[in-house]
Every structure is written in C-alpha cells, then in structure tokens.
Structure 1
Amino acid sequence: MTNNYKSKERPIALVTGGRRGIGAAIVLRLAQDGFDVAFTCRNEDEVARELCAEVEALGGRGLAVASELQSLEAHTDLLEQIQEWGGSIDCLVNNAGIGSPSRGDLLVMKPEAFDLVLETNLRGTFFLTQAVAKQMIDNSSPHPRSIVNVSSISVELASPERGEYCMSKAALGMSTKLFALRLASESIGVFEVRPGVIRTDMTAGVAQKYEQRFKDGLVPMGRWGETNDIASIVSSLASGQFGFATGSVIHADGGLAIPRL
C-alpha cells in the first residue's frame, strides 16, 4: 500500500447511474453527508450539470462522467478522470443497471436480451468493482472505504416474465459476498441494499397497478418506497459507522420480501 493519496478534506464517492432516480438521490445524500461525488451517466447533459450544481450547493464538488458500464475499456478512462479530479475513490456505489428489454414468457427469452442485461448488470458491475477495489488497496486514505451494491428484491423473488433481470441481480448478490470476503482484510466494507417497489420515472408507467396492489397488501408498510429511503441507507453504510460489518444486506422494501403465510 502506498501513501500517495491527495490531501482531501472530503472523501470521494463514485455513484454509477447517478443522473436520475435512486442514483441522483444517492448523489445528493452523499454530498449532504460530506462527500465529493462523481457519477456516471450516458450523457453529460443539462440534467447532469444541474445535479453537479446541487452537489456544490451542499458544500461538495460534483463531477458527471459519460461512461457506459458494459464497456470495460471505459472503466480505465472513468477512473483516471476521477483520480485527476479528486484522488482515489473512498466509496463506490454500484447503482447503474438496466431492466429486461421486454417482459414475456421465459420460454421465448432471446439470447440477445440475456446477453445485454447480464453484460451490463453483472459483468460491467463486477469488473468496475474489481478495478476500484484494486485502486483502494493501492492508495491509502484517511477516510473509511466501502462498496455498496444497489441490487433488488429480485435477488430473492422470482419474476419469470423478466428472468434475465432476476438472474443478473441474484448473481450480484453473490458478488457482494465474494468481494466482502476478499476485501475484509483491507478494511473495505462491502454491502448490499435491496430496494423493493420505488417511486421513480421508471415505475411511473405502472403506478396505478401498484397503487392497487398496495391496497391488496403487497407491501406490509402499504406505501411506495421513495428514492430518499434508499439514499439514506446507502449513505449510512458509506459513513464508516458500521466498521465491523461487511457482506451485510439491507432490505429496503417495506417488508415485501418477508416470507408470509
């Protein structure tokens, strides 16, 4: 391990897929709680620039980087940009991912859909985590270090009409365990947050359906999850306050995944 970290008062976080929804809420909560935050997005557009401005209004620095998660070649450029901007990463939040291209019968799933979802949600996330973990080990830091995977209740709950998505998230759950074991001796905590039904732009199209299902008892808490529900958990895990915990899973689903009779 080398002592070549830049002098920095605030720790550095990287949030993948941080431009909107859960990712944007995480970016802002981390900034509020003392981080400088870089985040990936497909385009450094006005929305991304406004999010950086919000980070700065909270007292931190924000950096938007256009980067495709499934492109392993892009990972090198992404980490170099962040290193030049602020130094080594103290917290990686693996939030980016895609859903099934289309829902349908498991028996007619296309190999192209399977490959796209697994390449993005699993392969891209795994190898970015690998690269960041190596950087964390090679660079000492005065701040706690952590990796937080934002997965899904689909790690456990099967939805045959979107099988490729469920398989990608189930594998991400195992990835959490593997990295937790490998990095425990390096004092890098690895955690997983499993959101349930969260109110975002992505769920707007099925909002009416879920409102009825809430009334029918789908979620014991009887309400939508909000993006800030997830963000507050992620920031708490990134804080270093759970110093003797690693591999831990937080269900943020209002009780949805609890087995019931």
Structure 2
Amino acid sequence: MRPVALVTGSSRGIGLAAAEALAREGFAIAVNGPVADADLSAAAARIADLGVPVVEAPFDVTDIAGHDAALARIEAALGPLTTLVNNAGVGVLSRGDLLDVTEASWDRCLSVNSKAMFFLSQGFARRLLARDRPGDLFHSIVNVTSANAVAVAVQRSEYCASKAAAAMVSKALAVRLGPENIAVYDVQPGLIATEMTAPVIDSYRTRAAAGLTLFPRVGEPAEVGAIIAALASGRLPYTTGQAISADAGMLLPRF
C-alpha cells in the first residue's frame, strides 16, 4: 500500500521541494495552493514526471469549514492519507517597526501560519483515528515553521509570533498523537532562498558568508525538502515532537 501525502503550499518553494522529495520516496502526492492556477498545474506535472500518483488539491487553508471536504476529495482520488505537511505560510504585509504593525498584517500571519495549520492537523488526525491504519505504513504530521519561532526579527514581529505559535502547536500535537502512533515534527528553516525571501536574499547571503550561519551560505528549498521526506518516511525511528533546525547552525549558541 502506497503512502499518501498532502503538502500545503506546494506550488513552489519549500512546499514543491518537499512534494518532489516525497514523490521520490514513493508517496502519492496532493499538491496544494489556494486556487487552481498555472503554478499548481505545473507543480502537479513535475510530480507526475516522477512516476507517482498526483492530484491537484486547490483550497484555501484558512477556510476551516472546508478542510474536511478537501481531505475527502484527496482521499477519494489517491487513497487514505498517511502524511500531512503543513507548509503553507505567508510573510508580513510590510517589514518595519513593531510599533507600526497593523491588525491586518497580524491577523493574516496568525490565520495562515498557525490557526490554519492547527485546524487542518486536527481534521487530518481525526480521519486517521477514525479508521484502521496498516501497521506497515508510517503516519506523521510535519509542520514547517521557521527559525523565527525562536529568534526575533523585530521588523516582522507578527510573523515571529505566528511561527512561535505554530511551534507550540507542533508540540501539543506530538503529545496528543504519540499514543496513537502518529509522529509530529517541526522543521524550522533558517536562511532559505525562496520567493518569500527574494527581496532580502542578497543581504542574507552576505550575512551568511560573514558567519551568521556555520555553513557560510544560504540554504536551498531542496535541502529542506529532503529533511521533510526523511521525517515523513520514518527514517528517524522512535522520535516525535522534535524541532529540526534547518538553519546551518545559525541559532547554535556560541562565544
């Protein structure tokens, strides 16, 4: 029986890299974006080229009431889900002084980055617990948060708050779902070259080369995707609740 993964926010960036890495592990993949568009179709085509079943699953993760129907459509197309990768996320509406943060930017970050992933994980877990699960398949939730779940970036404090909340959700899920043999992980990327970081990636590259990260470079989405695939495939047995810092040692305390 083939494992089946939903990867939210997988039309590009880390999400697409994770979907590709999981496909190479033999997972059937549901690729997700907020709407059916050319990017989502292109992502699905890339996964199909890897020789695994794939379905486009356009839905807005902030539409909590629509989660169950979206999960049902995926399972009707691919079979029972084994894996949820909560990758969908947004940045701030405008970087700047914490004292100038707007309610709209705060609500947007919290709604997508923490509230949506909590309730999608809840719906996913309920589906798993309502059925018999084959013992030979690994079941997991992998949440993509951020190094900013730990480290402050005062120019985007609402983003940091949302990722810190998501990191705590990961821990709570791990505690609740451990007795059900469902593993939960929190992957915390650092300086990764994505569309979201494109406006500041040159400064990140300079700071990485100057020693902000122990490896003197920024990371690539494929590297984070490989970590996610390893976790979702159960290659770190007897683990759950871990926060994996995909940050080249950036947050390692040092003198």
TM-score range, shorter chain: over 0.9
Matched residue type, 1:162: R
**Percent identity between the aligned chains?**
39
Residue in structure 1 matched with residue 248 of structure 2 by the alignment: 254
- The answer to whether the 8 Å contact 1:30/1:235 transfers is yes
- The answer to whether the 8 Å contact 1:88/1:139 transfers is no
Matched residue type, 1:252: A
Q: 1:124 aligned to 2:138?
A: no
Select between 237-246 and 123-132 the one with higher mean Cα deviation. 237-246
Q: 1:89 aligned to 2:77?
A: no
Residue 204 (structure 1) shift:
2.1
Select between 210-219 and 30-39 the one with higher mean Cα deviation. 210-219
Residue 11 (structure 1) shift:
0.7
Match of 1:205 among 195, 199, 219: 199
Residue in structure 1 matched with residue 4 of structure 2 by the alignment: 12
SS at the partner of 1:202?
coil
Q: What pairs up with 1:21-170 in 2 under 5 angstroms?
A: 21-142=13-134, 143-170=137-164
RMSD, aligned CA:
1.2
Distance 1:259 1:54 in 2: 39
> Could you say if the C-alpha distance between residues 47 and 116 of structure 1 is closer, same or farther in structure 2, counting changes exceeding 3 Å?
closer
Matched residue type, 2:192: I
Distance 2:42 2:108 in 1: 30
Where in structure 1 are there 5+ consecutive unaligned residues?
Answer: 1-8
Distance 1:253 1:241 in 2: 20
Distance 1:120 1:201 in 2: 17
Residue 240 (structure 1) shift:
2.0
Residue in structure 2 matched with residue 174 of structure 1 by the alignment: 168
Distance 2:254 2:247 in 1: 14
- The answer to whether the 8 Å contact 1:151/1:173 transfers is yes
Q: Which runs of 4+ in 1 moved over 4 A?
A: none
TM-score of the superposed pair, with normalisation by structure 2: 0.95
Select between 121-130 and 55-64 the one with higher mean Cα deviation. 55-64
Residue in structure 1 matched with residue 239 of structure 2 by the alignment: 245
Residue in structure 2 matched with residue 183 of structure 1 by the alignment: 177
Distance 1:150 1:70 in 2: 16
Where in structure 2 are there 5+ consecutive unaligned residues?
Answer: none
- The answer to whether the 8 Å contact 2:146/2:189 transfers is yes
Report how many aligned residue pairs link the two structures. 253
Matched residue type, 1:215: A
